[in-house]
Amino acid sequence: MSTGAAQRTAGTTARRAAPPARPGRSRPGWGRAALLAVVALFLLFPLYWLVATALAPRGDLQGSELRLWPSTIDLSNFSRPLTALPFGSWYVNSAAIAVVAVLITVVVNLLAGFVLAKMEFRGRNVVFLVLLATLMIPVQVVMIPQFRIVAELGWLNTYWAVIIPRAAEAFGVFLARQFMLSIPDDLLDAARLDGASAFRIFRSVVLPLSKPLIAVLVIFTFMYRWNELGWPLIVLRDPALYTVPVGLAFLQGQYTTDYSALMSMALLSTLPMVLVFAVFQRYLVEGIATTGLK
Amino acid sequence: MSTATAARDRTTQRLRPAGRRRGLRRRGAATAYALLAPNLVLFGLFLLLPLVLTVALGFQETSGFGVGRWIGLGNYERMAADDVFWRSAVNTVVFAAVTVPLTLVGGLGLALLLDRPIRGRTLFRSLFYLPYVLSGVVVALLGRWIFNENVGVVNKVLRALGGDGVPWQSSGAPAMASIIAMVVWQSLGFCMVIYLAGLQGIPRERYEAARVDGATGWQIVRYVTVPGLRQTTFFLTVLMVIQSFQVFDVVFVLTGGGPGVSTELLVTYAYRQGFGARQQGYASAIGVVMFVVVLAFTVLWWRSQRDTEADT
Amino acid sequence: MALDRRRFLALLGAAAGSAALGGCAGFSGGRDDGGGAASDDEITFTLWAGDAELVAFRAIARDFEAAEGIRVKLQQVPFDQLLTTVDAGLQAGQAPDVFRVTYTDLGVYSSQDALLDLSDHLPGGYADQFRPGLWSAVTRDGAPFGVPHHTDTSMILVRADAAQQAGLTLPTSYDEAWSWEQLDEALVRLAGVTAAQQYATGVNWQQFGAYRWLNFLGQAGGRLLTDDLSAPAVDSPEGREALRFTQSFFERGLVPPTTSTKGDYVDELFIAGTTASVFAGDFLLPAIADAGFDFGATFLPRNRDVTAELGGNAVVATADSPRAEQAALFLQYLASQEQMARFCEATTVLPTRTDLAGGDLEYQVRPDLMELFVAQSEAITEDIVEQTTVPSFNEINAALVEQLERAFVGRVDAEAVLADLSADIERALAP
């Protein structure tokens, strides 16, 4: 892999190893297709059940006898919670938070990755190791000190309280650094000889080569921010500012076993994430392959 | 973090023989730190400072919103004698020891299944990854619904097949199994994607060489693919262990630690101590222990990895 | 191949633009500073609320603003997040001006000086308007730290169809309330007519409700704490009797196995048809009445003694609120005769004022049953109030959750459980 990393030109497709054809099996066997079918049945059933419950009339799948599909489609599962709680504005809030958080977090991650991969300075390894060690901090436990700090800064009840503290994202820094290690130094040297500043090199040489990385960072960051529950719940005190997961927590408190309503909102809460994934997923495997995670 | 260190070693090995100063290595530390400043401020203010405060809180007795009282190692002594703490610790280790291998092996299996051309490959890759983008709350709610003892679909299917329902909610081991099932289901796709990426890095020549030697399909997986993915596996293990020490939403919403304390994990116990019982000092001490344990695991795991690499 | 840069930027830009349009308020933070309003004529009120409660609170807040010119900002949070939110706010000096709190949680706040002492804010003789037991629940060392807003208590609700099949007649006067023996017989008969995966009843002792188990303790003639409230008294023959009786619900399959103290909330199971009867508070009547089947109510059993738990909530102001005067005014408004009647009628809970007691409120849901609840609430004795409002009760309640869970799920022997519970209570009571 180390040779692979050195040979690779970042930003272009990694050399794709040919599919490891196996001896004695010239065409894809029926066995493999059957296996895939069985695996898919099990792995996709929960997703199906989420959608089926959301669409089925309440009581249809919740009775005591076994039913595996809805008798009819009943959209009142959606209207019940939607009329009781302002999910619409919570959606907008979540989107605003996620988008701004992605912009800030990704830029900050990229900068750190660049510096840690391509600049040599005293303390570099210490900085990197300390940043990585923060991955192991149990978030639930440090929440109270974090809350105090955010309160001191006067950010309570603003989106900044949700966005900024979570921009310290060690996993993203790690991904960025690993990726940038594989960018050939010669490219950077050339720019340096032209008298470009470090930031300029970052902007005009490194960034254009980092698109797969950026796609990966966008997917992960968007996912983390969109799905986060505990922290927004504590720092956002105004219900008008709540996010979708916080809304789901509300719903769970009021519709404890109304699974039709719960699943319908769970489904709605997931759609934007699926959308982002659908847009960026083409770059996911490639992006990860070139980040040197493998 | 050890992966990173390994990567750094590789980089320096790669660059040193050239004997030239490369890249931006001559730039001053000032520029570097200036560019790093946003990160240093963020990490310092929102992770390291809270960590320090947590360590300090761990030496105090608190009862909510008042100022704490210093009690030295009191919280740690209490922990040593606290049955629920030990039970949570055992649960956490069991949870990690089952979840991590299942996720890794399953993820590798999926990656191998979808690495070679097969009808619907791209679609299945996306579908299998999909659970990973669901929030913990959604996964937990879905788990509660599927594994509901009375009207959940799993028990209804079991009963329809003539068996008895499993006490997913009222008995410890099945409750733990339901959590593990949901967490593995959620993370499989992530491992699959990382392994798919890893498979791209195994040079084709190795497969060809193995084929020439007459290796069977299974032998190729065993002696070419798995060793070729060692870095990936190492990285995933560390990441999954960290994750399984921090999995919170799923457990909290799915079982709340019950029945009894049979699915109480360290992180849920610390949370309940800190926020439910208002024992933030004690909760912080538990958090510190978790941090140290995961850090120690990572360092040891990295060393053992380095040693095996040195052997081969 | 890779993401086209222009497309990527366009995408981000579009997303950011639309988000900023809708969500700019959250970035400016202009609404308030979290701890409360910036101005003197606005106070913040943190609460949890069911659908009907929220409507009632909103209407009352609107009228209060019209009457006094002070705006009340409602901050609704999920019930199990209220304490976390308030605690975090108190720690950071960003607490709300007013919050809603259960009587059993009030003590932990008043004992730590987190609440506003209302002594100087209330007119003389104010206390006399409230039922003495409930007033004492909001005082500490004689000083009031909140006003009792409403109370509620549990009864046994039984599906009409199941009762008929089982040949049960529900006692309708407290004198005829079932003894334990009669309750037991009724449950066994209900169990006889329910289908597979259905159960006779469910008891509402989940999580915060764990203290409702004390009803059984009281009915057996036992006490949780000694008379002077300084030590546990639960490890007694009466305690063992009560615990064995309730344990037997699980052993004999009379309640769903999932309804231990950490388990499923039983009102939802009743609504879903899983249980034929349920122990439930009056505040649940609107939700249950919506479920589409007929049901009746009967009293908690009486054995050696009668008891009913102290349910309901107080409203309190925080000690550091810069708008103490306004907050105190709002508390009095909430507890005024007119507003309390309005709230209770809309949400099927019981008033705390003496001039509203006696069941002359016009309840909007099942007034026939509310009459019974009013009678049941007579069994909320001073004794019960005293024991469940000690400052550390919320810690004791947490211990109840853990220990009862062991008894119900772990099937641990009553003697061992009560010994451990005793030790936990002792620790909680220690200064």
Q: What is the pLDDT of residues B204-240, one digit of tens each?
A: 888 889 988 888 888 888 899 999 998 889 989 999 9
For the domain C42-152+311-368, what is the CATH superfamily, name and number? Periplasmic binding protein-like II (3.40.190.10)
Q: Is the pLDDT of residue C349 over 50?
A: yes
Question: Shortest CA distance to C352 belongs to which of C323, C315, C403?
Answer: C315
pLDDT in tens, A184-223: 888 888 888 888 888 888 988 899 988 889 988 998 899 9
- Condensed to tens digits (0 to 9), the pLDDT of residues B196-206 reads 988 988 888 88
Q: Does the fold of domain C154-307+392-429 match that of domain C42-152+311-368?
A: yes
Q: Is C254 helix (H, G, I), strand (E, B) or coil?
A: coil
- Fold (CATH) for C154-307+392-429: D-Maltodextrin-Binding Protein; domain 2 (3.40.190)
Listed in sequence order, the residues at least 6 apart from B17 whose beta carbon sits closer than 8 Å to its beta carbon are none
Q: Where are the domains of chain B?
A: 56-311
Average pLDDT over residues A164-190: 89
Amino acid (one-letter) located at B96: A
Please, which residues bridge with residue C152 across strands?
C311
- In Å, how far are B271, C241, C356 from C394, measured between CA atoms? 16, 24, 29
Domain limits of chain C? 42-152+311-368, 154-307+392-429
Mutate one of C77, C251, C262, C392 to test the B interface: name it (highest B CB count within 10 A).
C262
Alpha carbon B80 to chain centroid distance?
Answer: 25
Neighbours of A, requiring at least 3 CB pairs below 8 Å, are B, C
Report ipTM for this prediction: 0.86
**Residues 6+ away with beta carbon under 8 Å from C256:** B149, B150, C199, C202, C263, C264, C266, C269, C274, C275
Model pLDDT, residue C13:
55
- For the stretch C131-148, pLDDT in tens is 888 898 999 888 999 999
Cα C201 to Cα C376: distance, rounded to the nearest angstrom? 19
Q: List B residues 194-213 in contact with A (Cβ-Cβ < 8 A).
A: 194, 196-204, 207, 211
- Cα-based distances in Å from B300 to A41, A149, B293, C204: 39, 34, 10, 48
Nearest CA in chain A to C284: A254
Q: Read out DSSP for chain A?
A: -HHHHHHPPTTSPPPPPPP-PPTT--S--HHHHHHHHHHHHHHHHHHHHHHHHHHSPTTTTTSSS--SS-SS--THHHHHHHHHS-HHHHHHHHHHHHHHHHHHHHHHHHHHHHHHHH---TTHHHHHHHHHHGGGS-TTTSHHHHHHHHHHTT-TTSHHHHHTGGG--HHHHHHHHHHHHTS-HHHHHHHHHTT--HHHHIIIIIHHHTHHHHHHHHHHHHHHHHH--HHHHHH--SGGG--HHHHHHHHHHHSTT-HHHHHHHHHHHHHHHHHHHHHHGGGHHHHHHHTT--
Domain B56-311 has CATH 1.10.3720.10: yes
Contacts of C379-382 spanning 24+ positions with Cβ under 8 A: C379/C153, C379/C174, C379/C300, C379/C306, C379/C307, C379/C308, C380/C133, C380/C151, C380/C153, C380/C307, C380/C308, C380/C309, C380/C310, C381/C133, C381/C307, C382/C132, C382/C133, C382/C136
| pLDDT for residue B258 | 81
Q: Tell me the pLDDT of chain A averaged across its residues.
A: 82
**Which of A6, A23, A108 is closest, CB to CB, to B14?**
A6
CA angle, B137 as apex, C260 and B153 as ends, to 5°? 65
B14 touching A (Cβ < 8 Å)? yes
Locus of tokens 């057996």: C220
Which pTM was predicted? 0.85
* Burial C101-121, CB ≥16 within 10 A → b, else e: bbbbbbbbbbbbebbbbbeeb
CB contact under 8 A, B170 and C260: yes
Task: Indicate the angle between helix axes A124-133 and B2-15, nearest 10 degrees.
Answer: 160
Q: Which residues contact B261 (CB under 8 A, 6 or more apart)?
A: B84, B87, B88, B91, B269, C402, C405
pLDDT of residue C24: 56
Characterize the bridge pairing of strands B60-61 and B69-70: antiparallel
- State the pLDDT at residue A22: 47
Share of chain B above pLDDT 70, in %: 89
Work out the average pLDDT over A117-130: 90
In chain B, what is the straight-line distance between the N-terminal and C-terminal CA atoms, in Å? 22
Q: Which residue's entry shows tokens 């909140």? A: C146
Contacts of residue C189, Cβ cutoff 8 Å, sequence gap at least 6: C166, C167, C168
Reported as a single tens digit per residue, the pLDDT across B61-113 is: 886 666 788 999 999 999 999 999 999 999 999 999 999 999 999 999 999 99
Against chain B, the chains showing at least 3 CB pairs within 8 Å are A, C
Structure tokens at B13: 């090995």
Residue B272's pLDDT band, with cuts at 50, 70 and 90, is: confident
Average pLDDT score over chain C:
88
| Per-residue confidence (pLDDT) for residue B23, from 0 to 100 | 47
Task: Report pLDDT digits (tens) over A136-148.
Answer: 998 888 887 898 8
Grade residue C31 by pLDDT with cuts at 50, 70 and 90.
Answer: very low
Residue C159 has a pLDDT of 96
**pLDDT band per the 50, 70, 90 thresholds, residue C305:** confident
% pLDDT > 70, chain C: 91
| Ordered domains of chain A (ranges, CATH) | 31-74 (no CATH), 86-290 (1.10.3720.10)
Instruction: Reply yes or no on whether the pLDDT at A21 is more than 60.
Output: no
A156–C26 C-beta distance less than 8 A: no
- Contact yes or no for C410 and B257 at CB 8 A: no
Higher pLDDT, A27 or B194: B194
Choose between C28 and C407: higher pLDDT. Answer: C407
- Least CB-CB distance to A174: which of B4, B150, B229? B4
Interface of A with B in 82-121 (CB under 8 A): 108, 111-112, 114-116, 118-121
User: Mean per-residue pLDDT for C304-311?
Assistant: 89
Q: Mean pLDDT across the stretch C364-386?
A: 90
B65 touches chain C (CB under 8 A): yes
Give residue A1's pLDDT.
Answer: 35
pLDDT of residue A140: 83
Find the range with the poorest average confidence among B39-53, C25-39, C93-107. Answer: C25-39
Categorize the per-residue pLDDT at C33 as very low, low, confident or very high, splitting at 50, 70 and 90: very low
**Mutation site for C-interface testing, chosen from A110, A156, A237 by largest number of C Cβ within 10 Å:** A237
